[in-house]
Amino acid sequence: MISENNISQILEAGGKVIDSDGDKIGSVGQIYLDDHTNNPSWVTVNTGLFGSNESFAPLEGATLEGNDIRVAHQKAKVKDAPNVAPDGHLSEQEEAELYRYYGLANGFGNVEYSNGEHTSGETFTGTAGTTGNFESDRATVGHDTSGPTTDDAMTRSEEQLRVGTQSVETGRARLRKYVVTENVTQTVPVQREEVRIEREPITDANVDAAYDGPAISEEEHEVILHEERPVVAKEAVPVERVRLDKETVTEQQTVSEEVRKEQIDTDDVETTRDGRI
């Protein structure tokens, strides 16, 4: 924990501010003290070209490493924090923005700017860079009836729907090959030989052949007949390639969910003419 006694050491040695990962953010600019506890509350880091800007970093959770301050936030977080010009002042709105930015509880306490020597004439109360009391210029109106009085306003909250997507397994697809038998019918033309008797009359052209043999005799004449018959042969041949692939299809789905939100109503209270209840 960084104490008031470490401030002079840090500023005189020109200490650096390093982030939670050990990376250098910049050099120490200014340190702000809590006026009630005198504990360091904020440190500014010289950033920008030639240290022209100062980014505020909280000292809550920070540690001292030699002459350097190691804050509990990463470099990008600190460098993107609201910054002011050197020797500038924080308005109440800017300080509240810092608390919101770092996710810290609103710490409007008395703080004192320190440059190594504590000057009682520069007391910052509520908002860094302003002087006076923490109390607002106007008095708090009303008080809590459900518990201790906290402030002059009631916070209204509501639930908001955050919808995202999640990838889940819905099924599997696989390829499987199996054998089936089916009948295939094809028509094939076939030829066959048939006997046909041809008769021709005796003419001068064939009379010699007609007398080439006995006048009266018994004879047999034979002709061999042929026919074609279908012959079936089977051959396995590749016909196509089949594979699995995936494609992404986008569709719109409507999500409905109940959310709660707070409503603030005002109960009117009857009063007399002189303002008394």
Residue 9, helix vs strand vs coil: helix
Q: Is residue 95 part of a domain?
A: yes
Q: Is residue 236 part of a domain?
A: no
Q: Is residue 207 part of a domain?
A: no
Q: Is residue 179 part of a domain?
A: no
Q: Is residue 89 part of a domain?
A: yes
Could you report the per-residue pLDDT of 108-164, keeping only the tens digit for each? 443 444 444 433 333 333 334 333 333 334 455 666 666 565 666 778 899 888 888
Q: Is residue 34 part of a domain?
A: yes
The reported pTM is 0.38
Maximum Cα–Cα distance for the chain, whole Å?
A: 168
Residue 128, helix vs strand vs coil: coil
Low-confidence ranges of the chain (pLDDT < 70): 34-37, 47-53, 83-92, 106-152, 268-277
Nearest CA to 76 out of 104, 57, 93, 49 is that of: 57
Up-side HSE of residue 157: CA atoms within 13 Å toward CB?
2
Q: Is residue 29 part of a domain?
A: yes
Structural domain of 16: 4-125
Domain count, the chain: 1
Nearest CA to 29 out of 128, 116, 118, 130 is that of: 116
165-197: burial string, b at 16+ Cβ within 10 Å, e else:
eeeeeeeeeeeeeeeeeeeeeeeeeeeeeeeee
CATH number, position 13? 2.30.30.240
Could you report the per-residue pLDDT of 170-185, keeping only the tens digit for each? 898 999 999 999 999 9
Q: Is residue 181 part of a domain?
A: no
